Amino acid sequence: MTDRHGGAEPGGSALDGFLGRLNPDMCVVTAAADGERAGCLVGFASQCSIDPPRFAVWLSKVNHTYHVARAAHHLAVHLLTRDQRDLAELLGGQTGDEIDKFARLDWWEGPGGAPVLTDAAAWFVGTILHRTDGGDHVGFVLDPVRWGGDRDGPLLKLSHVSGIDAGHPVD
């Protein structure tokens, strides 16, 4: 059913016409807490303030990384280039509940113990300022405290990872 302006009312699949057009940059989020490390591929992430600079990442509540991030004080956010799909496949297609992803990665310990991926195109580590429940995902608002990376190339986008089966289904 549509309203008088031609828009669909809640409950329909017309929202897919909007959401299906989005093609965000993908990123990898890593966390460490209580002697455990975790990392996952994330499509819900964005700068959310200019001054002061803030960034928000959204982690699925069923994801292993979310469970580690709940106890973490810092998260690392990494951008990948299109030629790094293998990293995206490892971090998005496997679950830390079953394998140690970091045994297969080059990384170093950043602020607050957050694992920083050596080969990322760009990265930052942020202090977690707020956690916000958004439904099946929780948003982590980050205050960047350290950053780096200078790998050139076009960034990995949602359309480039559509064939990766998630390590954890949404429900």
pLDDT in tens, 53-109: 999 999 999 999 999 999 999 999 999 999 998 888 888 776 667 778 888 899 999
Cα–Cα distance measured from residue 28 to residue 80, given in angstroms and rounded to the nearest whole number: 8
The bridge status of strand 54-60 relative to strand 45-49 is antiparallel
Nearest-angstrom CA–CA distance, 100 and 95: 8
The whole-number pLDDT of residue 167 equals 54
Place 48 in a pLDDT band, splitting at 50, 70 and 90: very high
122 contacts 149 by C-beta, under 8 angstroms: yes
Average of pLDDT values for 32-36?
A: 96
**pTM for the structure as a whole:** 0.87
* Pair 104, 39: CB distance under 8 Å: no
